[in-house]
Amino acid sequence: MPTLPPLLVAVPLLAAAGLAAAGRWLPRRAVDAVSIAVAAGVLAGASLLVAGTGVARVATWIGGYRPAGGASVGVVFVVDRAGAGLTVLVAALTVAALVYTWRYFEEVEAWFHVLLLAFLAGMTGFALTGDLFNAFVFFELMSAAAYALTGFKIEEPGPLQGALNFAVVNTVGAFCVLFGIGLLYGRTGELGFAQLHTALAADGRADLLIVAATALICTGFLTKAAAVPFHFWLADAHAVAPAPVCVLFSGVMVELGLYGVARLYFSTLSAVLPPARIGPVLLALGAMTALLGAVMCVCQHHIKRLLAFSTVAHMGMLLMGVGLLGLPALAGVALYVLAHAAVKGALFLLAGVLLNRLGSVQEADLHGRGRRLPLTGAAFGLGGLALAGLPPFGTALGKGLVEHELTTGGPHVLLVLFVAVSALTGAAVLRAGLRVFLGAGPALPRDRDREVDEEEDPETRGALRRAPLTMIGPALALLLLALAAGTVPAVARAAAVAAAQLVDARGYTAAALSAAPGATTGTALPATGWTAESVALGGLSAALAAALAVVTVYRAGALRPVVRWLRRVPAAAGAGRRCHAVATAPLQRLRALHSGHLGDYVTWLLAGLAALALAFGATG
């Protein structure tokens, strides 16, 4: 078992190098088979790690360079249930993406697969490493692969623009992480999470240097997590990236940014920064992220951009769950991450089916044309309901655990926000499904909200006459995974163990530094079963989503005669224009902020860094 963690990083890297060297001479199906086999092997190994971290952690010092007297020079992997579970999720989504690409990019030799395997290695290393600097290294590996995957269709201007925005904004965030690591190293002389925790606990004080380092590192990780105001790159990247790549972006890459914040705090900074100093900042940031993401989501009519903003909204919900800093809430976050990744991955794959069967992902272009795709439509509608929190999907159970914490120890307004955001994002997906697959309501104007190039080309050779099993199968499998997250008690219990081990800094430090790396956690596990409250709140948000979708689709047709009549009355027409201006001005300003201009995005990132530093300092 101790030799397994580094292999899960090394094997996909070696496979990527081999395919880069020999891929041009290998048949396409051989490249597909090798890539899927490697990702499946990582999935199997990560599953073994999940089984082996039920009561203990697995620590691996590369080359056998174990600590001597608490000091070390080696590279360490410290695997607990949280890191192992994320690795399972990373590998499972990579397998789904690779199976889906069986009919994608027929002329690209092996480069797409090389980048996906490098992306897999970077995300796996980030989830398993026990060293802050190596976390930065893996952070940059997955980022570099992600930039290239976003701009993979290099002959089109849209992907290049999205990749450039993605790369520059996240590179600035990466520099923030590196500067923050330098400050912590200058203070402690350590880079390992466990060693940093020990050194900071011995020092016992959080001065301005620690606050500045925390703000810098959190800025970089929260940029990857697409938290407001660091989120601007995400929709631009998702709108132009290939659908199987979006599965990994929304399903696990942004969640790894949030994991980085949680790991940094619980395994290191909790020694000097009390929850009262961190929790309120994360709660406020999460609330702003959830609200902005939900509002922008319902304004979109480009399906991939709509799904991207729903990811922003759900990351805000997850950030609020982390900000509560309680075990039940963290268990809910872990469960929600799994179920959300599966549902969002399925929805992006289904959007890819639309693009490659019907040639577009614009609601206006697709109105009623999805009637010939009943299975895709049924899966899309089910995904929208699951995104809204319909029981018994894991999204509802994870959401319910966080909501219970909000009813007992958090601000009740955040509970209302949780339900509202779930309903709004689910309603946006259901609205698109009603228009595309049922032809419901009046058709939208063809020039409505064209944020991205409307001539988005299919990614298969010619339009598909039918969606092959390799495309629709992974989407259905991911929906089943989301259902299992809510119906299989072992999954919820694993999430509780992951939360308990994540907050156990003493056990983490002992596992990393002692000669017996199987140190166990003594933290009591929270209850993670269904309650009447979680079922009711999940049903409420799903019902609201369905109602809002129906109202949104049909209101334009119902109000059109009234609008025509009002326009004949000068006074009424003037009042109507004034009311419309007042109602839409905030939305127009919000949409204008997402301008696509790189300078604006970097300015907002730096403003967010300053605000985060001031907030951490003020709460002290």
Digit-coded pLDDT (tens) for 77-121: 999 999 999 999 999 999 999 999 886 666 566 889 999 999 999
> What separation, in Å, do the N-terminal and C-terminal C-alpha atoms of the chain show?
42
Report the Cα 221 to chain-centroid distance in Å. 12
| pLDDT bracket for residue 357 (50, 70, 90) | confident
Burial (CB count within 10 angstroms: exposed 0-12, middle 13-18, buried 19+), residue 136: buried
Residue 580 pLDDT: 47
Please answer whether residues 365 and 444 qualify as being in contact, where contact means their C-beta atoms are separated by less than 8 angstroms.
no
| pLDDT bracket for residue 435 (50, 70, 90) | very high
Q: Is the pLDDT of residue 537 over 80?
A: yes
Please answer whether residues 57 and 498 qualify as being in contact, where contact means their C-beta atoms are separated by less than 8 angstroms.
no
pTM, to two decimals: 0.92
Q: How far is CA 310 from CA 100, 235, 413, 575, 587, in A?
A: 22, 10, 20, 34, 16
Distinct helix (H) and strand (E) counts, the chain? 24, 2
For residue 77, the cross-strand partners are 60, 129
For residue 362, the cross-strand partners are 302
pLDDT digits (tens, 9 = 90+) for 181-239: 999 999 988 899 999 999 998 887 778 999 999 999 999 999 999 999 999 999 989 88
DSSP conformation letters of 548-580: HHHHHHHHHHHHHHHHHHHHTSHHHHHHHHHHH
The 3-state DSSP class for residue 210 equals helix
For residue 79, the cross-strand partners are 58
pLDDT digits (tens, 9 = 90+) for 233-281: 999 898 888 889 999 999 999 999 999 999 999 999 998 999 888 999 9
How far, in Å, CA of 142 to CA of 187, rounded? 28
Q: Is the pLDDT of residue 466 over 60?
A: yes
Q: How many residues does the chain have?
A: 620
Burial track 277-292 (b if 16+ CB lie within 10 A, e otherwise): bbbebbbbbbbebbbb
Element spanning 244, H or E:
helix 243-248
